[in-house]
Copies of this chain bind each other. A is one copy, B any other.
Amino acid sequence: MTQFALSPRVRTSPFHRSTIDAGLSAVTVYNHMMLPAYFGDFEAEYDRLINGVALWDVAAQRQVQLAGPDADACAQYLTARDLTKMKEGQGKYVAMCDHGGRLLNDPVLMKLSDDRYWFSLADNDMLLWCKAVAAERGFDVEVTEPDVSPLAVQGPKAERVIVDLFGESARSLKYFWFTETELDGIPLVLCRSGWSKQGGFELFLQDGSRGDELWARIMAAGGPYGIGPGAPNPVERVESGLLSYGSDTEPDSNPFEAGMARFVDVDCEPDYIGKAALQRMLAEGGPARLLVGVYMDSGVPGAVSGVESWPLLQRTAIWVDTDVVGSLSAVAYSPRLERTIGVGQIERRIVELGVPVRVETPIGTTSATVTDLPFIR
């Protein structure tokens, strides 16, 4: 693997020192910030997420805050989903599109109050998009990236850790709902969310100077449950069919092609960016490509461990006969399915025909069967 060259241009998170001490061994870059990717023991990291509880530094999931009298109107205009019934304390998984209906991001939008929203973002500079739209359209709103850094507690035992820390009331938080609270005076937002399907919470730290303190506090509380360090997991996310914006999408992907159709309210009454384009796409027959899973018919030796499952360096081709019909964006060996699986975009007509495909992997071509996502519910 290649080394990562440090510079202040790629920011460190408030939990950086703690992740180094916990054995951080590989990183990626996400929203101009180092995002931990690996702590040196793939089996243990996967096992903690599936059977126990893991602590992830996901501070790179930055927030864009809209604050001011027009926050409501601006959030709606930026979002391809009807927000009229959204409540304070509620989060929603939303698509942000450009004026041509192309997907720009798939954040969780959090409504803190009528005049304050956060987009909790995937990897691209939506701060620039939101600032430009707000200023040019004349919304009375301040658009900033606040001092907010999420830490994710994920896995089936995550709830016990959170209840030990925050009390029984945490149990009643519904999925994507949140509450502003504190821990030993550390201000944070506690949300039932996270980029896995193993259950868990995200703690949105609101004071960057107290990151290591918060990390230590959670590690201590999680000790009895076997908590340990981890990171967004490249195998579990494929098993669970979670979208990785920028990996699974191309610059011209629309939300229908990215598996987000059920989160888009195309005809919703309030206007939003991309509305006309998305309506036209549906009127013209819907998406040409679909995000699907593939079962590889032969194992991909390079994909037996999580580390080795990363090296899908670029999207690679998916074939039927001599035609390229799509592209594979991730490949992983699933310990739970005991099979090598992948995720990619494939032409809809091929998906509907149900024919087998061939997949170009880093170690050669293999035949494969197309399937719906997720692999594991």
Q: Report whether A7 and B310 are in contact in the complex, using a CB–CB cutoff of 8 Å.
A: yes
What's the interface size class on A, roughly?
A: 35 or more
Q: Is A373 engaged at the interface, CB distance under 8 Å to the other chain?
A: no
Please tell me which one of the listed residues B27, B135, B246 contacts residue A99 in the complex, with CB atoms under 8 A apart.
Answer: B135
Q: Is A136 engaged at the interface, CB distance under 8 Å to the other chain?
A: yes
A24, A246, A311 interface centre (most CB from chain B within 10 Å): A246
Please tell me which one of the listed residues B8, B25, B28 contacts residue A315 in the complex, with CB atoms under 8 A apart.
Answer: B8
Q: Is A2 engaged at the interface, CB distance under 8 Å to the other chain?
A: yes
Q: A126 — nearest CB in chain B belongs to which residue?
A: B128
Chain B residues with CB under 8 A of A25: 2-3
Chain B residues with CB under 8 A of A27: 2-5
Q: Is A104 engaged at the interface, CB distance under 8 Å to the other chain?
A: yes
Chain B residues with CB under 8 A of A99: 131, 135
The majority secondary structure among interface residues of chain A is loop
Which residues 46-74 of A have a CB within 8 angstroms of B?
Answer: none
Q: Is A213 engaged at the interface, CB distance under 8 Å to the other chain?
A: no
Residues A131 and B98 in contact in the complex (CB < 8 Å), given A4-B1, A124-B125: yes
- In the bound assembly, the distance between CA atoms of A37 and B29 in angstroms comes to 15
Q: A145 — nearest CB in chain B belongs to which residue?
A: B251
Please tell me which one of the listed residues B34, B38, B98, B329 contacts residue A135 in the complex, with CB atoms under 8 A apart.
Answer: B98
Q: Is A84 engaged at the interface, CB distance under 8 Å to the other chain?
A: no
Residues A128 and B123 in contact in the complex (CB < 8 Å), given A1-B3, A1-B4: no
Chain B residues with CB under 8 A of A330: 7-8
Q: Report whether B32 and A246 are in contact in the complex, using a CB–CB cutoff of 8 Å.
A: yes
Q: Report whether B26 and A29 are in contact in the complex, using a CB–CB cutoff of 8 Å.
A: no
Please tell me which one of the listed residues B9, B10, B136, B313 contacts residue A6 in the complex, with CB atoms under 8 A apart.
Answer: B313
Chain B residues with CB under 8 A of A273: 135
Q: Report whether B6 and A3 are in contact in the complex, using a CB–CB cutoff of 8 Å.
A: no
Please tell me which one of the listed residues B136, B137, B314 contacts residue A8 in the complex, with CB atoms under 8 A apart.
Answer: B314
Q: Report whether B124 and A32 are in contact in the complex, using a CB–CB cutoff of 8 Å.
A: yes
- In the bound assembly, the distance between CA atoms of A237 and B26 in angstroms comes to 28
Q: A129 — nearest CB in chain B belongs to which residue?
A: B128
Shortest beta-carbon distance from A285 to chain B in Å: 25
Q: Report whether A247 and B136 are in contact in the complex, using a CB–CB cutoff of 8 Å.
A: no
Please tell me which one of the listed residues B3, B244, B251 contacts residue A4 in the complex, with CB atoms under 8 A apart.
Answer: B3
Q: Is A339 engaged at the interface, CB distance under 8 Å to the other chain?
A: no
Q: Report whether A10 and B28 are in contact in the complex, using a CB–CB cutoff of 8 Å.
A: yes
Q: A35 — nearest CB in chain B belongs to which residue?
A: B5
Shortest beta-carbon distance from A98 to chain B in Å: 6
Chain B residues with CB under 8 A of A10: 28-29
Chain B residues with CB under 8 A of A348: none
Shortest beta-carbon distance from A203 to chain B in Å: 23
Q: Is A216 engaged at the interface, CB distance under 8 Å to the other chain?
A: no
Q: Is A350 engaged at the interface, CB distance under 8 Å to the other chain?
A: no
Q: Is A132 engaged at the interface, CB distance under 8 Å to the other chain?
A: yes
- In the bound assembly, the distance between CA atoms of A6 and B331 in angstroms comes to 12
Which 5 interchain pairs have the tightest Cβ spacing?
Answer: A132-B132, A5-B37, A29-B29, A136-B136, A9-B246
Sample 30 A-B pairs with CB under 8 A, ordered by A number.
Answer: A1-B3, A1-B6, A2-B4, A2-B6, A2-B24, A2-B34, A3-B26, A4-B4, A4-B28, A6-B311, A7-B28, A7-B310, A8-B247, A8-B329, A9-B123, A9-B246, A10-B28, A10-B29, A28-B29, A98-B131, A98-B132, A99-B131, A124-B128, A125-B125, A125-B129, A126-B128, A129-B131, A132-B133, A136-B137, A145-B251
